[in-house]
Structure 1
Amino acid sequence: MKVLLVNGSPHAKGCTYTALEGIAETLNTEGIEAEIFQVGIEPLAGCIACRTCSKKGQCVFSDPVNDFLDLAKDADGFIFGSPVHYAAASGAITSFMDRAFFADSLAGRRSFYLKPAAAIVSARRAGTTAAFDQLNKYFAISEMPIISSRYWNMVHGATPEDVKKDEEGLQTMRVLARNMAWFLKCKEAGIKAGIPFPQSEQKVFTNFIR
């Protein structure tokens, strides 16, 4: 089994990475493979709602989003990490997830369906819960079980060295990783036992204009 960890920070080895690295190490001890995917520092366009993805199965822009989608179909779980920028997730991870989740949905790839997911955020001081809530909404609309820890998934510090001193934050990351591993093993056992996925329904779309 494999969990894909997405680093939405422009710093490849910064605070967010330090938290994700701790998660990856704990997943490995639980027998779960972990890969950290770096969003990078190149500009990422937001979704332009062109719906090309519904026809081609990938986003119209050639950048890390399509690389991620190629990996996502074979992943068993996901953890998305972001620094806090103005009490919100980073612009890069927001554009990245907007396009990745929209393209996957419109193309009918179902790379995220019933796969467990979690969000983690890092901040010097505040804005963490707002960013955390923002990221979790992608999972909730995609029928993804959301994995929790014993506190909101956040670390604090202005540098990776600071984060390594955040004992409670790092413990939260370890507990999250173990909960993710436990869920994946339970899901695997359920599938082997022949428990079917939930009955699916055709989507109903309504608005409030009459």
Structure 2
Amino acid sequence: MKKVLMLCASPRKESNTMQVLEECARTIEESGLEAEIVSLRQMKIRSCIACGKCAQLHQCALKDGLNDIIEKLKVADGFIIGSPVYFGTARGDLMSALQRIGMVSMNSGNFLSWKVGGPIAVARRGGHTATIQEMLMFFFINDMIVPGSTYWNMVFAHQPGEAEEDTEGIQTAVRFADNVAQLILKIKG
């Protein structure tokens, strides 16, 4: 079965970012694909140390749980990331994870190439577009396919549960998730 792996970067247990990704997962599953959400919440993701060992190991030499995510991503057809916006940027641990995932992919046959996906940003007031642009770099440099939606993949929310109040934001994210699913079905059969 075709699968989309989703990565939630929020440190909160009941976060708006998770709420948005859960809506996206329902849409993906309605299209007949499997959706799995993995949270970085309890993980302590370290930054890449540029040791180059991933070229021999085909995984990261750092042992902090990211290799489990990398293994899931190797067999997934799609990859969606969701991050809250802190001080106008994506969470640091997410960006560290993406850099290490990208290094392993580039040193292990480019397993990210032609996977379909993209980012979603959730914030109280601003910083969404800069955060989306920051996260998009990961997808583009790894030869991935990023579909659009009816607006930018951003949701306005602050207190837990407020994401569902941003009807347009949720509709945009869900449309994006549906586009990810439909592209996977068209490209990968």
TM-score, normalization: structure 1? Answer: 0.86
Take 1:71 and 1:62, find their aligned partners in 2: how far apart are those partners? Answer: 16
1:85 matched to which residue of 2? 86
What is the alpha-carbon root mean square deviation over aligned residues?
1.1
What are the Cα deviations for residues 46-67 of structure 1, in whole angstroms up to 9, with x where unaligned?
1110111111111111122101
Question: Equivalent residue of 2:75, what SS?
Answer: coil
For residues 58-207 of structure 1, what are the structure 2 equivalents within 5 Å?
58-108=59-109, 110-189=110-189
By how many angstroms is 1:72 displaced?
0.9
Deviation, 1:148, is: 1.5
Q: In the alignment, what sits opposite 1:201?
A: none
Give the residue type in structure 2 aligned to 1:87. G
Match of 1:208 in 2: none
Give distance in 1, aligned partners of 2:165 and 2:88. 22
2: CA distance between counterparts of 1:40 and 1:103?
Answer: 22
TM score, norm. by length of structure 2: 0.95
Question: Deviations for 1:69-104, whole angstroms, at most 9, x for unmatched residues?
Answer: 111111010101111011010011011111111122
Structure 1 runs of 4+ aligned residues shifted over 2 Å read 40-43
Residue segments in structure 1 that go unaligned for 5+ positions in a row? 190-210
Q: Which has the larger radius of gyration?
A: 1
CA contact (8 A) 1:23 1:177 kept: yes
Structure 2 unaligned runs (5+)?
none
Q: Please list the CA deviations of residues 111-143 of structure 1 after superposition, one character each: whole Å capped at 9, or x if unmatched.
A: 211111110010011000000000001110111
Contact map agreement 1:2 1:32 (CA 8 A) in 2: yes
Q: Determine which structure has greater relative contact order: mean sequence separation of CA pairs < 8 Å that are 6+ residues apart, divided by chain length.
A: 2
Question: Identity of aligned pairs, percent?
Answer: 35
Residues 158-187 of structure 1 deviation map (CA, whole Å, 9 limit, x = unaligned): 123211111001101111121112111111
